[in-house]
Amino acid sequence: MEIKFKSVKEQQVAYIIATGHCNQIPKIFGKLRVYIAKNSINTTGYPYCTFFNNTLEVPPEELHYEIGIPVIGDVPGEDTIQIKKIHGHQVVSTICNESSEYTEQLYHTLMEYAVKNGYLISGPATEIYLNDPIEVSQSEHSVEVRFPVIKKINIRLWQLFFYVI
C-alpha cells in the first residue's frame, strides 16, 4: 500500500446528507446522477462519500455521511441536493481495491502514518470512488481513502512567549 500526502484543489460539489445504513449509498448516487443529467450539469471529478461518524462505533442505521459529485458552473440546489465549495486542503491518502485491502486497519494505518510524519487529522474520512459504484460490483471497487491533515507546529512554550511579546 502506497501512502502519500497531497494537496486537493478547491472544488464545487453537488451533495446529499444522509443518515442510515450505507447500503443506501448507490441509491443516493443514482439520485445525484439523475439530477445532474436532468439539469445538464458538467462534472469534474469522481464521486465521493464523507463519513461524519465512525462506521465501527455506531449502529448502521445511525451512520451519518455526505454523498457528492464535483460539478462546475452556476448550479442550483434542488430538494435534498445542495451545492457548496470545498476549500483546498492537504490530505493523507491511499488507493485500495475494496475486495482485498479495504479494512478497518487501512484507516488506522493512514492515521498512524500522518501522526508519525508530523501531521494531525483535521476532519472526517472521505472515500473517492475511482470507478462508478453503481456500474461495478463491490469486489471491483477502486477507492481512494483520504483524511484531511494539517502540519503539526512544534513551538515550545518559551518560543510562544517571545512571539507574543
pLDDT bucket at 25, cuts 50 / 70 / 90: confident
Q: How many domains does the chain have?
A: 1
Identify the pLDDT of residue 67.
96
Domain that holds residue 43: 3-164
Q: What are the cell numbers at 34? A: 439523475
Identify the pLDDT of residue 5.
96
Phi-psi region of 19 (alpha: psi -120 to 50; beta: other; left: phi over 0): beta
In the predicted structure, residue 164 carries a pLDDT above the cut 80: no
CATH number, domain containing residue 86: 3.20.80.10
d(CA 23, CA 46): 19
pLDDT bucket at 102, cuts 50 / 70 / 90: low
Residue appearing with cell numbers 451545492: 83
Mean pLDDT, residues 148-155 taken together: 82
Query: How many of the other CB atoms lie within 10 Å of CB of 89?
Result: 15
Identify the pLDDT of residue 98.
59
